[in-house]
Structure 1
Amino acid sequence: GDALTFVIQEHHAQALHWDFRLEHEGILASWALPKGPPTDPKKNHLAVQTEDHPMEYATFEGTIPKDQYGGGEVTIWDWGTYELEEWQDGKKVVATLHGQDDGGLGGVRKFSLFNTGGSGPNKDPAKNWMIHLMKDPASASPEPEPARAADDAAPVDIEPMLASLGKVETVARKEKDWAFEMKWDGIRAIATVRAATKDSDGSVTLTSRNGRDMTATYPELAELVDCVDVDCVVDGEIVALGPSSRPDFGRLQQRMGLTKSRDVERERSKTPVYLMVFDLLHSDGESLLRTSYDQRRERLAEVVSEGENIYVPEAFEGSLDEAMKSSKELDLEGVMAKQRDSVYLSGRRTRTWLKLKHSSTRDVLIVGWRTGTGERADTFASLLLAAHGDEGLVYLGRVGTGFDQHQLQSLRKTLDRMSRKTPPVEVPSEDRHDASWVTPSLVGEVTFGGITEAGRLRHPVWRGLREDIDPDDVGV
């Protein structure tokens, strides 16, 4: 017969949960999983049976209005087909799910759902279920486990998992389910390490979030090979430190994009960089992408030791309020909140990792610049900014503060090589005066105080270029 459909949707309603839906007799039988599908056969998760949904809902992603049932953001976490082994109405379901290579399940997973009757949080015993991850899902199906096999074959191709902007109150509702890390003000790097052997000195490859090889730009981070005894892949942040020994994104700009060894060595002596390692994705041939955050952090402490330029900062021990206060006192960007049960979704932006910032920042595209006067006669007065919208580029305003002299001069040289005759976006006449236009392929970052009614950034301040971000990913 035809294959049966399943879908798991990440649902940001009043409380974050995952909707687990299985096709059955023409409808989608549904359960709400407050902690998501289990990743450890030894730990069952609560599953609350909800109303059946029509089959059309299997492809739904989008926003449910807040005044409606289930109001909030819905995204598809994984989907595919499943093999039914057992279905006892109201009692038990056993099914083997075949998810997507880049989905949340990571391939083939076999689950058992069973009703617990009066043992559960709901007064209605029919709603109280648990979901159990069964061992050795591959034995239930002749197909291989695609994601894990691919990960082991080419770990260097892993892309960073990305966090969404979050609110403190969202995390505070279920604070015990979250771990907190300081948010480092640098650029992400996936480091693939081949450990040293009797016949080899080992190697380190650094890859940016948009796939650029950064190994030659930061040679001091080759020290990572001395900090491990096994081949591994780690996720971290490259930072430069300012006078107060805190991450300084402006100083890091002086190192970004350099590839000539002479230039790298000159700046390296002035501005050394450090790698803050916070996640372990592969270790000694084993993929850890589908293990929980807590398990990965535990393994990270065992596998990677610290060096002169390599740090493994521990997760913050304390409450969310204390983490935010500590971050503020250290003059850091904010806090990263990560769900303890969350798996690592390579290349995906999720809400199981949240950025809790003290101030608003965003990525922007440079579309032009305005002529400077006085001290800025040879550089520029301000940059004109935009981002991708549904129907093309959208103008965001201009930024004229936050630049040091080095940034002004180097940016002007770069902009001169990117000039074009016409504006790439509709710009108001008052900002078009004495403007020069450029191809919108340079990504920058600004802080700002809000958005005006006209859609412009309020009081933007330049922070620096973001060569690690693809211009196509800069959206409104």
Structure 2
Amino acid sequence: MTGGPTSGELPDLVPPMQAASVAGDPPVGPDWVVEVAWTGHRCIAYVQPGRRVRLLSGGNNSMSAAYPELSEPLLRRSPPGGMVLDGTLVARGEEHAVRPRLLKRRSARHRPSDETIRRIPVDFQVADLLWLDGHSTTDLHYADRRALLDGLGFASPPVWTTSPLPATELDTMLAIADQKGAEGLHARHLRGRYHPGGRSRFWLRVPIRRTRQVLVGGWTPADPRRPDTVGTLLLGVPVGGGLHYVGRVGVSLEQRRQLAAELVARRLAKRPFSGEVPADAGRHASWAAPELVGLVEFTGWIGGGRMRRPHWRGLLAPSAVQQAGWARPPEPVIETPAPELAPPVEPAVAMSPGPASSGPAAPEPVAAEPGAGEPAAAGQVVQARRLEQHFFYNSLNTIAALIRTDPMRARELLFGFADLSRVADLPGTSTLGRELDAVRGYLQLEQARFGERLRVEVDVESGVEPVPVSAMQVLDVVRSAVQQEIEPLPDGGTLALVARRTAAGCAITVTAGERAPTTLLLAAPPD
């Protein structure tokens, strides 16, 4: 290996390099790649076969005891001379919302029990290689370091390699990162070297600047002796029928005068927020009826569902308010198994496996299995989140691999993945047409990964597209069929989806391999 010192002992310390902040427009040239920068703990892993694995934080503090489950997969892939890896520890299950609080609760336990490891799984996402088999790699170009890293074969939990994509897809990657709740992207130049403890213009952090709707639920005065003046706005968003506090934001002098009259006219004696408001924000606060809608730009979320670095963009006219435009705080973390907190099964829609329908008539409903309609166990929720995270990384790894051999198909899959992400993140009710678009996007990605092992037959009768359906309801059935009935088989199998109109709406029948068909009955809206 060239570009580094001669063979030797694994170094005790390689100070981690830091990404520089992007100045101006982010890079989009052919020599740049981008990847999602997930919120987590920076980790440098020192792997010495036959001896030990050391995990150090970005500040060079030991984290080895907190994540014992990472030692075996790291040692198994290490060459005899050891390796040093640079990456990020993330709480598994971040596909729909970043969960730094979940990771914090795991890392706070110095020596976790087996139950804690199972309940709060953590993945090590490896982004760079600093030492390999007795040689430093820091002087190599990033493209060469990355090729060596990919050759180590970290492709399954709990240790993954990240999936950089060409910077020409920057806008699509920014949209994906925005939907997934990440705070930004990392942009790396293919010829960039690793500078231990330093920064370089060849490794940049590109922030996500989100602009979302919020409600103004109160204000703190510029001068506590003059309560009708405005200093900062107290912001909230509608969540579960209440107003969830998401932070406060300063406003310009001109905006203060405009907002003061509007807020004083809406003054309330009691706070409108359904949850707690931090003491420092509520100390001198005046409350207001949450009727004013504004736009806020922010970069992400911090603990408790607060906006990170919010910037007030101004009020919105009532006619400009969009139902899909509200800021969406991260989902609350389930700390202990608590069945009452898990989402219930919908027995009125989810049917037990039954015979396939060969015509427009709906199959007869089958009695629910024992326990149908009861809340899912917390372990099931964690397992569902694992599948989401695995699918996310499998998809990006598939797209990244195709870039070298079939760039046009990789681009098509990337756009399909972005569309699938948007549909998957929709709250509440969708339409069958939109849901089937998500199903097709998912199957396209899985066919790229499985090749001839996954065969697909989709037969949709015209006119069923407007039928309402819970978001991801059909997609979840299709994914379960692929993952449980086709993926484990060496020769794979065929997944068939049939959608037929019924007198009440629509019947969806999904068949995979030897599995008995699963049917969903969907009711059309009244005329």
Q: TM-score range by the shorter chain?
A: 0.3 to 0.5
Query: TM-score w.r.t. structure 1 length?
Result: 0.43
Higher strand proportion, which one? 1
Higher helix proportion, which one? 2
